[in-house]
Structures are given as structure tokens and as C-alpha cells.
Amino acid sequence: MGGPGVVAGVDGSAASEQALAWAAAAMRRVPLTVCHVQDAGGTGPRPDKGAVRSGTDRMLAGAVALARRQQPTLDVVPRSAAGPAAEALLQASEGAEMLVAGTRGAGDWSFPELGPVSNDLAASASCPLLLVPDDGIWRDGPVVVGVDGTPSSQRAAGFAFEEAQLRHVTVLAVCWSQEPGQAEEAGGAWQSKYPDVTFSVSAAAHAPAAALRAIAATAPLAVVGAHGAGDIPGLLLGRVAHELLQNAAHPIAVVH
């Protein structure tokens, strides 16, 4: 089977461990590539190459073992790469079905919200990106998706339906489109492909990011398109996606 399947970035942080657990439970019947990036940045003395290699091997071995404990039959492929971290993970995830990472990495203790690597991944990932906080356990409830009629939100809805079918839950579409019936149209289009998934609609005429965040607070997963209606052309990440990610208390998927 070609391609890296699902890619999970691991760096030893609590969030990356939760991200790995999510990736191992993705249930997509594709390989899981666990990737650790050796970031050569910084101005301090260069670490011993042998020690770095040994540390990377231990981290990857631990990640493979953790993934296989959760899914014993999973095909897990370890991969090391040279930094910068975001660039290396983006390259590793080319052709992947999904990239999974923690909202904050090792050394991001000074960032109370989204870490800089995770922010770069959200802006540029070529596949759906799932960001998981360090307490990002699976919760019962519907997969929540933001819908505003844009192509990005249509793709986000497709990802939400796929995740809902894999996990046997429903979809709740939070709609802030000015067009009546936009969410129903988007959901109906995907429900023909995923007939076993039921969905409902909640309107959010104002402050869509706040509404989406509030509704998703008790949901297992929120999904949002990277670009929305009214966003300035050329922005790597739209305003709703950006605001939602900066307050990422629960797992969030971003779809370009």
C-alpha cells in the first residue's frame, strides 16, 4: 500500500502522546507513520550526534510500542526527519490521509494556546490536520463541523462524516451561512456517501467561532475548514479557524 497513511508527530510531550493515541485509533485500515523530527535550530552548542540518534530511536520505539498496545494489528512505521519541525512534518505527510499532532510540543510551555509548530501545520497542511491537546481524550457525542458554504467547509463536512462513520457517532453542523438550507445541503451531499451517519443543524448567525467553540466544548471532535466566507484572499488560515485554534481546549481538525 503506497503513501504514509496516517502520520503522527511525536516529541515526548503529553499532547503528542494523546495525538498518537488518536492516530492509532483512527481505524482507517492504513499504516500509521510515527515521525520524530530532530530540529537542528537554536543557538546553543550542538548536541552529540550519537546521543541524538539514540534518543530518537528510544522515542520512536516507545511510540511504536504505545500504538501497538492500543491497536495490536496496526502496521506502524517509525520515521525520523531533520527539522525545522513543521516543515519536516508537512513533507512527511504529503499524500497522507491525515496528519495528527499535539496542540503544543515539547518546549512550548511558554505558549498557553497553540504552539508555533502546530500553528504552522494548521496553515499549510496538505491533508486534514487533527490537533490534540494534552487532555484530549475521546468523549461521547457528535462530531461538530462548521459549515458556511465555502469549498473548504464542504471538505470539512466530508471529513466530519467520515470520522463519524468510523466512530459510530452523529454529525452536528454549525452553520453561519447567509444562504438558507446551506448546512442541510452540505450534509445531504455527504450523507449519500455515508448513509449510516445522521446529522443535525445548529444556526450561528453571529460570532461563528464562539458559537462553534461553545457547541464543541463537550464534543469529541470539532472540524473546521481552513478558509471561510469573507476571509481575505491569500490568508493561510481564515479567521474562524484561527480563533478556534487559539482556544483549542479539545481536539480540532482543520481541512484545507
Q: In the chain, pLDDT over 90 holds for what percent of residues?
A: 54
The answer to whether residues 226 and 166 belong to one domain is: yes
The answer to whether residues 234 and 180 belong to one domain is: yes
What is the predicted pLDDT for the residue at 14?
87
CATH for 91: 3.40.50.620
Q: Among 132, 166, 200, where does a domain finish?
A: 132
Q: Is residue 189 part of a domain?
A: yes
The answer to whether residues 113 and 170 belong to one domain is: no
The answer to whether residues 85 and 184 belong to one domain is: no
Rounded Cα gap, residues 184 and 173, in angstroms:
8
Relative to beta strand 6-9, strand 32-38 is parallel
Rounded Cα gap, residues 165 and 172, in angstroms:
13
The answer to whether residues 20 and 48 belong to one domain is: yes
Rounded Cα gap, residues 108 and 122, in angstroms:
16
pLDDT tens digits, one per residue of 66-78: 999 999 999 999 9
Residues contacting residue 30 through CB under 8 Å, at least 6 positions apart: 1, 3, 5, 6, 75, 97
- Contact between 68 and 34 under an 8 Å Cβ cutoff? The reply is no
The answer to whether residues 163 and 244 belong to one domain is: yes
pLDDT tens digits, one per residue of 153-205: 999 999 999 999 999 999 999 988 767 777 788 788 898 899 999 999 988 76
- Contact between 1 and 33 under an 8 Å Cβ cutoff? The reply is no
Give the pLDDT band of residue 36 (cuts 50, 70, 90).
very high
Q: Is residue 137 part of a domain?
A: no
Please give the grid coordinates belonging to residue 84. Answer: 525545522
Rounded Cα gap, residues 134 and 138, in angstroms:
12
Q: Among 132, 164, 181, where does a domain finish?
A: 132
Q: Which amino acid is at 149?
A: G
The answer to whether residues 85 and 177 belong to one domain is: no
Domain, as residue range, for 43 = 6-132
pTM above 0.85, yes or no: yes
Q: Is residue 138 part of a domain?
A: no
The answer to whether residues 153 and 114 belong to one domain is: no
Q: Is residue 179 part of a domain?
A: yes
The answer to whether residues 128 and 148 belong to one domain is: no
Q: Is residue 188 part of a domain?
A: yes
Question: Three-state DSSP class for 221?
Answer: strand
CATH for 226: 3.40.50.12370
Work out how many domains the chain is built from and give that number. Answer: 2
Report which of 239, 205, 203 is spatially closest to residue 224, judged by C-alpha positions. Answer: 239
- Contact between 172 and 51 under an 8 Å Cβ cutoff? The reply is no
Q: Is residue 201 part of a domain?
A: yes
Q: Which run of H or E residues covers position 224?
A: strand 221-225
pLDDT tens digits, one per residue of 195-240: 999 999 988 767 888 889 899 888 999 999 998 877 766 677 888 9
What is the predicted pLDDT for the residue at 234?
65
Please give the grid coordinates belonging to residue 100. Answer: 495528527
User: What's the length of the chain?
Assistant: 256
Q: Among 112, 132, 152, where does a domain finish?
A: 132
Q: Which amino acid is at 80?
A: S
The answer to whether residues 156 and 251 belong to one domain is: yes
The answer to whether residues 14 and 122 belong to one domain is: yes
Q: Is residue 27 part of a domain?
A: yes
The answer to whether residues 32 and 98 belong to one domain is: yes
